[in-house]
Amino acid sequence: MEKNDLFFIREAIGEAKKASALGEVPVGCVLAIDGKIISRGHNLKESKKNALLHAEMVAIDKAIKKMKTPILPEATIYVTLEPCLMCAGAIFQTRIKRVVFGAFEPKFGVLGSILSLQNEERFNHRIEVTAGICRKEIEKMMKDFFRELRNKD
């Protein structure tokens, strides 16, 4: 864990809450360079009817456009939930140096759960991973969201 990790994960939780306010699975993300947030994203799959729009993809795309640079080698991405294959792939493609996430995603997560791609030596880029910051709070937020969703049915 590094200085400010807690601050940035809390910001990502704030983004996740924007998603749940829209009826989206609460996943949120911020991207930082040199200790400053350069973009934010939250899950927009349902609102935009597009399964590509995970929080990470939204934040990475915004950061690329803002920085006017195709890759983000100086960036750290803070996300409430362990990234899936697509988002981990986008992190590798954009050369993001570090990933900090809160809760593990046992069904889809590929940075510790079903796969641990950060240890895959055949990739040409290495990422540093820190997991578990605010894990309990994030797990509770997810559980509350799904419980409420079930109660609505």
- Active-site entry in 11, 15, 24, 56: 56
Residue with tokens 């910001």: 11
Q: Is the dihedral of CA 127, 133, 136, 139 positive or negative?
A: negative
- Please name the amino acid found at residue 102: G
- Please name the amino acid found at residue 150: R
What are the beta bridge partners of residue 31? 39, 77
For a second copy, the binding residue among 5, 46, 137, 139 (CB under 8 A) is 46
Residues 48-107 that bind a second copy (CB under 8 A): 49-52, 54, 57, 60-61, 64-65, 68-71, 84-90, 92-95, 107
Cα–Cα distance between 41 and 131 in angstroms, integer?
Answer: 19
| Beta pairing, strands 75-81 & 98-103 | parallel
Q: Closest separation between CB of residue 31 and a second copy, Å?
A: 13
Q: How many chain residues bind a second copy (CB under 8 A)?
A: 36
Helix (H) or strand (E) holding 21: helix 5-21
Residue with tokens 């050369």: 95
Query: Which residues contact residue 1 at a Cβ distance below 8 angstroms, ignoring those fewer than 6 apart?
Result: 130, 133
Per-residue binding string, a second copy, 1-40, x by CB under 8 A, is ----------------------------------------
11 or 24: CB nearest a second copy: 24
13 or 38: CB nearest a second copy: 38
The verdict on whether 56 is a catalytic residue reads yes
42 or 54: CB nearest a second copy: 54
Which residues are part of the catalytic machinery?
56
Q: Which residues bind a second copy (CB under 8 A)?
A: 45-46, 49-52, 54, 57, 60-61, 64-65, 68-71, 84-90, 92-95, 107-108, 114-115, 117, 120, 122-124
